[in-house]
Structure 1
Amino acid sequence: MKTYVCPACGLVYDEAAGLPEHGIPAGTPWADVPESWRCPECNIGKTDFVPMEL
């Protein structure tokens, strides 16, 4: 599982955890997150998120 971060506000999307409070269940791969999805913190688009190296 991979992790992605919003470059504007730092919100982290972890595929293993998902964002269930925002309608994305745990275990949802980034590729399966709808292209129309926006960061719930700052409203930046999915395409602006960057992979996070752990």
Structure 2
Amino acid sequence: MDAEVITEYQQWICVVCGWIYDEAQGLPAEGIPPGTRLADFPDDWYCPECGVTKADFQLLEF
């Protein structure tokens, strides 16, 4: 019997403009499928709202 794998997706907030990236939703309009981790983005990816890099995102904790 295979154990069910449960994956918790995280949300990341841009510290400059407040835009939130939700890993569970992805960014399909930009070719990023649901379930894509922010860590898997290329280093030159930029925030679609303000243009900063992924280094300027922090984990959104509830």
Instruction: Check whether TM > 0.5.
Output: yes
Runs of 4+ in 1 over 2 A off after TM superposition: none
Deviates more, 1:34-43 or 1:16-25: 16-25
5+ residue gaps, structure 2, are 1-8
Bigger relative contact order, structure 1 or 2, given CA contacts below 8 A and separation 6+? 1
Which has more radius of gyration? 2
Is the contact between residue 22 and residue 40 of structure 1 (CA under 8 Å) also seen in structure 2? no
Q: Distance between the aligned counterparts of 1:37 and 1:4, measured in 2?
A: 14
Please show how residues 1-54 of structure 1 align to structure 2 within 5 Å: 1-54=9-62
Backbone CA RMSD of aligned residues: 0.9
Q: Distance between the aligned counterparts of 1:41 and 1:23, measured in 2?
A: 16
5+ residue gaps, structure 1, are none
